[in-house]
Structure 1
């Protein structure tokens, strides 16, 4: 009888093996066809542009390398792809950035690998609030002076909202979440390290004596690196992401140094608020020890204070003193804020996405005022409610969280609150890392219900 059962199982196993082979064969053929298509496109485009003979081979070679890279990405596990996706967030020097490229690749690989997604995220109040924000924002386009420009601006906003939703959809478990967080931190460390090297060598990207990493502006780089600093600080108390204590200590020193050298006043305030809130909750929960404060906060700042003596040619102290006072352009920004406020008061449905610069000579430098003026009161209210709901739930979960576990609720709460204060003086609606932060908060609220299910360091 047992032998008969074995005979019956063999055909089933054979069918299963054949199905798997067919499945992998179809994937391989798809990748091969895509690679071939990219190669032919590269050759075809050379007929439309004059390319010197000595550069024709690199033009053909780049798509081939890209195709090989795509095949390698296809072979990687999903958590490794999430690591690379998070790593790309830290490189936003040009548009389209590596983040856009990875986003498109992730969609392709998501479909090819048939990754199941989290459907539950579409049935809640947060989704409704974001949907209403986008809906009323779309309606404001009809009030634009330049419909084409307003539509283009709004499409970028919609794309970033969708990219946040996509991130929530594709993270399936703790292991994948840990890989994504590690990729984000590694991206911030690389930015800080290369940025500091460039700063010391006098090779800043274009802001003179201000470090900006692989970002277009120091004011965009600073909020990004604050999130990574908070992750490493929490990882130093309850290890879950990285093993080495020395690595974490040096990472904090490096990233805090980069934050200081960015000379972004809003970034400093962001970090101060995030750190103060973090310390307050930790003290309330009895988790903050004096030894940790001395080691991971006072020592890095002491190292920074030694920079002027190690590199006297940088004129660091004078730069620092200059950045802690009002700048010549501050009055212009206050005038822009006042002008935008008046526009918002008189246009309840908004003047259209991105239209402030059409009627005024500079950006608002205040995300909230610009949001209400361009998108209208309803869109602004729904997005504000969305932020408040996120912060409220994260605060509640942070306080009730198990003391022995990695408190990602608290890390994201501090990063979110610091960022929401930061964007009072800068336009942040089109920051990629801002929407990545929103996505992580969203994910945590709906897929980590129990405080006791915090990250326990599945990946070391």
Structure 2
């Protein structure tokens, strides 16, 4: 075989391996939308493929080091916390921390992949949007009983689709909603009917999840994203066009909600979920309501440096913490809490510059950072510590920050590339 022939065969082999790796990554992200039982296909798939990537030479860049260190300390805090768990629940507590370890590894994996080649972001974006539209469509169809066995996609009259909880299903749709909304903010709408339809499906999914957290995230996230996009526009004409799009979008959203609310079953749940204080929140902040539990939990944490172990808070106070920061104290101890808060601070420091850097990945980065900020806020009223898509968000932010650092090192004197 000639040298030229051998080189051609080698190149073909590299292309096939690269295509296979891309397919595996796409499938991994796509499976993140199907968590109707545990262990979910997502976990089983990633447990099999992540070691292969690292054995094949995937490197963790030094700039991702703080993410790795914080997550190691966080999981270590969880392991120490299991020592506070009673014998009957000790094995379950270890499994719980094992899930945390898996999710931490997945975040580092995504960060390493994005840092290695930022173009993978496009693949991840397509996979996430695709699975989000599909599961949202299933949730909407299940809610209106348009599919066989619709109760499989419902919980307490709320759409949960292929998730176990509507309060996870709704927030899962936020990032892809922002991605599609940004496409409409920055490009011609009339030539993108598929984008419009996809966004409508996602918004309906968020609405029918009846997750107050998801409602708030969408209501705040869209104008916040519009403000970020507008600040990056070079002309007032573009900003004026964006204002028109936002007004039209709000009008369409009001119409969709009005039409949905005209259905009696939807209206009843809407009125119930729209109340500021639910029964489990505690009437007027009464004892053992959600916010009273928060206060009691933070006071208890001052006496428990190792925490109290997974699910022990639920046993003591009947209900879950519904607060990611309190959960860190209760189930990961002081070490886990400090590690988590430090990770959030480091991530924000890495994330915010991505909003303004004119890079090929800027558009997705803007949506990613806005989504991350929203999750940080709702973490005060809901537990996010085992949300798979949240760890994906962590990983991608750190991966893009590493890609930005590599870009600056490689081309310090070149002008910024357009987004």
When normalised by structure 2's length, the TM-score is 0.82
Provide Cα deviations, 1:36-94, integer angstroms capped at 9, x if missing partner: xxxxxxxxxxxxxxxxxxxxxxxxxxxxxxxxxxxxx9895322222211111111110
Aligned length: 391
Q: Residue 183 of structure 1 aligns with which residue?
A: 127
- Asked whether 1:307 is paired with 2:237, we answer no
Q: Which residue of 2 aligns with 1:129?
A: 70
Is 1:421 aligned to 2:401, yes or no?
no
Shift of residue 162, structure 1, vs aligned partner: 0.7
- CA shift, 1:276, in A, is 3.5
Determine if the alignment matches structure 1 residue 384 to structure 2 residue 361: no
Q: Which segment drifts farther, 186-195 or 341-350?
A: 341-350
Matches of 1:347 and 1:305 in 2, distance apart?
Answer: 49
Residues in 2 aligned to 1:455 and 1:229: alpha-carbon distance in whole angstroms: 23
1:69 is matched with which residue?
Answer: none
Residue 337 of structure 1 corresponds to which residue in structure 2? 294
Per the alignment, do residues 167 and 396 of structure 1 end up closer, same or farther by CA in structure 2, a change over 3 Å counting? closer
SS in 2 for 1:80: helix
Higher RCO (CA 8 Å, separation ≥ 6 residues): 2
8 Å CA contact 2:182–2:225 kept in 1: the answer is no
Unpaired segments ≥5 residues, structure 2: 283-288, 409-414
1:103-160, Cα deviation, whole Å (9 max, x unpaired): 134236637xx74313314763333222222233333333333443332221111111
From the superposition, tell whether residues 231 and 453 of structure 1 become closer, same or farther in structure 2 (CA, over 3 Å).
Answer: farther
**CA spacing shift, 1:153–1:12, aligned 2, 3 Å:** same
Give 1:390 shift. Answer: 1.2
Equivalent residue number for residue 64 of structure 1: none
Instruction: Give the whole-Å Cα distance in 1 for the aligned partners of 2:372 and 2:11.
Output: 44
1:327 aligns with 2:275: no
Find the partner of 2:157 among 209, 213, 228: 209
Q: How does 1:424-435 map to 2 (within 5 A)?
A: 424-435=380-391
Q: Distance in 2 between matches of 1:394 and 1:19?
A: 39
| Structure of higher CA gyration radius | 1
Map of 1:68 onto structure 2: none
More moved, 81-90 vs 163-172: 163-172
Contact between 1:225 and 1:255, CA under 8 Å: does it hold in 2? yes
1:182 CA displacement: 0.6
For 2:41 and 2:361, the matched residues in 1 are separated by 33
1:153 maps to which residue? Answer: 96
The whole-number CA distance in structure 1 between the counterparts of 2:145 and 2:64 is 52
Distance 1:136 1:115, change over 3 A: same
- More divergent stretch after superposition (351-360 vs 225-234): 351-360
Q: Does 1:248 align with 2:198?
A: no
Residue-by-residue CA offset, 1:316-342 (whole Å, 9 max, x unaligned): 233212211122222133343233223
SS in structure 1 at match of 2:155? coil
Equivalent residue number for residue 162 of structure 1: 105
**Deviation for aligned residue 1:215:** 0.6
What's the Cα RMSD here?
A: 3.2
- Determine the structure 1 residue equivalent to 2:266: 316
Q: Residue in 1 aligned with 2:363?
A: 407
Aligned twin of 1:258: 205
Task: Describe the shift of the 1:233–1:373 C-alpha distance in structure 2 as closer, same or farther (beyond 3 A).
Answer: same
Q: What SS is found at the alignment partner of 1:116?
A: coil
Please show how residues 432-451 of structure 1 align to structure 2 within 5 Å: 432-449=388-405
Aligned residues of 2:67 and 2:108 also touching (Cα < 8 A): no
Question: For the residues of structure 2 that align with 1:84 and 1:296, how far apart are their CA atoms?
Answer: 32
Aligned residue number for residue 219 of structure 1? 167
* Per-residue deviation, 1:282: 2.9
2-structure distance, mates of 1:220, 1:428:
8
2:320 — aligned with what?
363
Residue 193 of structure 1 deviates from its aligned partner by 0.9
Instruction: Give yes or no for contact 1:134–1:379 (8 Å, CA) kept in 2.
Output: yes
Question: How many Å separate the matches in 2 of 1:95 and 1:387?
Answer: 27
Counterpart CA distance in 1 for 2:359 and 2:2 is 53
Find the counterpart in structure 1 of residue 53 from structure 2.
110
Distance 1:214 1:121 in 2: 37
| C-alpha spacing 1:243/1:86, structure 2 compared with 1 (3 Å) | farther
Q: Deviations over 1:372-394 (max 9, x none)?
A: 12212232112112112212332
| Partners of 2:47 and 2:326 in 1: CA distance | 32
* Partner secondary structure for residue 38 of structure 2: coil
Shift of 1:418: 0.7
CA drift of 1:264 comes to 0.8
1:243/1:108 Cα in 2 relative to 1: closer, same or farther (>3 Å)? farther
Q: Can you list the C-alpha shifts for 1:170-220, whole angstroms capped at 9, x where unaligned?
A: 343233220111100111100111111111128343423211111111101
